[in-house]
Amino acid sequence: MTHSTTDPTARPASILIVCLGNICRSPTAEAVLRARLAAAGLDIEVDSAGTGDWHVGEAPHVEMTEAAAAKDYDIAALRARQIAPADFARFDLILAADPSNLRDIEAIRPAGNTTPVMLFAPLSGSGQDAIPDPYFTGDFAGALALVEAACDGLIAQLQ
């Protein structure tokens, strides 16, 4: 949970990854980041959420679940939830799957809160600012590959 320091260089104790529906990109990122953190021996809490409420309570998208399973990530038990203003106090770092998610997250930031909200994709080093949404592109494997690269970049920064 939230650590007490305001040092911006401090390692976050908790990370929230946010996309639009919380059924494709962010639950995948939640599972990949959990696996990468465990492999790196880093004890950091990870959760995911969506800016929208259409899929609250639902399991991840079937094709996303299959693409993740093909690479040994099990996201089937995750359930979608919507980001809430209280998440700004609950998490030390919030990562957005694309610029429009970032704007929607910032729109509900509580007054006075300074939790960093950053784009996730640039951590991949690919030069992309967005994880293209496979719900619309159909490219679930591509989204997963970019998520993996972004997680690798994040882990490198955290070590």
> Which are the catalytic amino acids?
19, 25, 133
How far apart CA 75 and CA 28 sit, in angstroms, is 7
Site for ligand 4NP in 5-34 (CB under 6 A): 19-25
Q: How far is the CB of 92 from ligand 4NP (least distance, A)?
A: 22
Write the interaction track for ligand 4NP spanning residues 55-84; mark x where CB under 6 A is met and - where it is not: x-----------------------------
The DSSP H or E segment spanning 50 is strand 45-50
- CB neighbour list of residue 121: distance below 8 Å, 6 or more residues apart: 97, 98, 128, 129, 130, 131, 146, 150
Distance of CA 94 to the CA centre of its chain: 7
Q: Which is nearer to ligand 4NP, 104 or 152 (CB)?
A: 104
Q: Quick check: 135 binds ligand 4NP (CB under 6 A)? A: yes
How far apart CA 21 and CA 80 sit, in angstroms, is 7
Q: Quick check: 54 binds ligand 4NP (CB under 6 A)? A: yes
Q: Which residues bind ligand 4NP (CB under 6 A)?
A: 19-25, 50, 54-55, 133, 135
